[in-house]
Copies of this chain bind each other. A is one copy, B any other.
Amino acid sequence: MTSEPNLLAVIQRQLNELNKSEAKVALAILNAPEEATRSSIASLAASAGVSEPSVNRFCKRFGATGFPDFKLQLATSLASGVRYVSRAVEFSDDINTFPTKLFDNAINALMTAKEELPLKAIARAVDQIAQARRVYFFGLGTSAAVARDAEHKFFRFNVPVFTHEDPLMQRMLAASAGVGDLFFFISHTGRTKVLVEAAEIARQTEATIVSLTAEGSPLADKSHCCINVKVEEDTEQYLPMTSRLVQLVILDVLAAGVTLRRGEGFTPHLARIKDSLKDTRFQTS
- Measured CB to CB, the closest approach of chain B to A68, in angstroms, equals 7
Contacts of A271 in B (CB 8 A): 237
Q: How many residues of A contact B (CB 8 A)?
A: 80
A-B contacts, 16 listed (Cβ < 8 Å): A1-B38, A38-B72, A77-B79, A79-B79, A79-B80, A89-B256, A95-B119, A95-B122, A99-B122, A103-B110, A107-B110, A142-B152, A145-B148, A145-B149, A193-B282, A248-B248
A113 CA / B103 CA spacing, docked (Å): 9
The reply to whether the CB of A158 lies closer than 8 angstroms to some CB of chain B is: no
Assess A264 versus B91: contact at CB under 8 Å? Given A103-B113, A252-B240.
yes
Assess A82 versus B111: contact at CB under 8 Å? Given A93-B260, A145-B149, A237-B270.
yes
Chain multiplicity (copies): 2
Contact across chains for B110 and A114 when beta carbons are under 8 A apart:
no
A123 CA / B103 CA spacing, docked (Å): 16
The reply to whether the CB of A218 lies closer than 8 angstroms to some CB of chain B is: yes
A123 CA / B145 CA spacing, docked (Å): 26
Closest B residue by C-beta to A147: B145
